[in-house]
Amino acid sequence: MPKTSQSLHPLLVLHPIQPAYLRLFEEAGFDPIPGWERSDFEAANRRVADDLRFVLTSGSRGLSAAEMELYPKLEMICALGAGYENIDRAAARGRGVVVTFSPGANAPQVADHAIALILAMLHDIPAADRAARTGAWKTYRNSRLHPTLSGRRLGILGFGRIGRETAGRAAGGFATPIAYSARTRRDDVDHTYFADPRALAEWAEIVVVATPGGPETRHLVDAEFLSALGPDGYLVNVSRGSVVDTAALIDALRRKTIAGAALDVVDGEPEVPAELADLPNILLTPHIAGHSPEAVTATIRLVIDNLAAHLEGRPVPTAVPID
């Protein structure tokens, strides 16, 4: 017998998810209640706050201690994706609320996007497309030469699953020398390790930012980092906007103390500062690096695995580490 809406477990969803993927939760026994728009959030709270046990959010959206207080029966907060920086974990721990995340589920797609951003930036694909469409074919072609990715030194800031996947694509497909900076050296890779992120920037011609967000990495890419990267260097960010000091990046791009940048994430998104968007040496995408049918499905499946384990009294597969 199919489950009725009354028998489904309410799940407040604070991160935008397309209807086709919300149905995956319904098939697993949950009633996904959209709450990413303020009006929907308030309506959902009026409907289910007193009995709500499960919340699905993301690292960028998070869940505050004050919001947790709205739900007296809250048992579990699931972060959709690898980030969980804006979930108040201390408040959750104090209330005995389980917090989970979805590490690695979309890493291949994010790594693909990082490589796509590098190629589009180096080859100036957006401007070339506009030139071909607007009759400036010969003018553009005769006035531009573009650097290649092959053989360029690629630095990766943060070396989790996304960093590793990006390194594998670059080294295997483009013969790029790889170096990385992370909190600890990885014994299972042969790439050059820099404990100091600025030393990585000095070595690299391109830096891909693939660190977690949060206070520990806020403005890790600052004016000194960008100065170390230098006028022939390029920056790509597929992690969190907060890792890059936006004001310092705008200044570096404006003064051409770095050659260019490609960002899938911006601090304060979805708002993009006009001073950044108007620059000619930047490429922007709207936080879509992890968006593919395969990646979204894999991420949601991992969330469902965590929810099911909790309901069955088993340890959840991917609990957020306790600080």
Active-site amino acid positions: 240, 269, 287
CA distances from residue 17 to 229, 298, 299 in whole angstroms, order as listed? 37, 13, 11
Which run of H or E residues covers position 8? Answer: none
264-269 long-range contacts (CB < 8 A, ≥24 apart) are: 264/113, 264/117, 264/237, 264/238, 264/288, 264/289, 265/237, 265/238, 265/239, 265/240, 265/241, 265/289, 266/241, 267/241, 267/242, 268/241, 269/60, 269/241
Structure tokens belonging to residue 276: 């950044």
Classify the phi-psi angles of 18: left when phi > 0, otherwise alpha if psi is within -120 to 50, otherwise beta: beta
**Tokens matching residue 309:** 């384990």
Contact (Cβ atoms closer than 8 angstroms) between residue 14 and residue 41:
yes
How many CB atoms sit inside 10 A of residue 280's CB? 9
Q: What share of the chain is helix, strand, coil (3-state, %, to 5)?
A: 40, 15, 45
Please give the single-letter amino acid code of residue 53. Answer: R
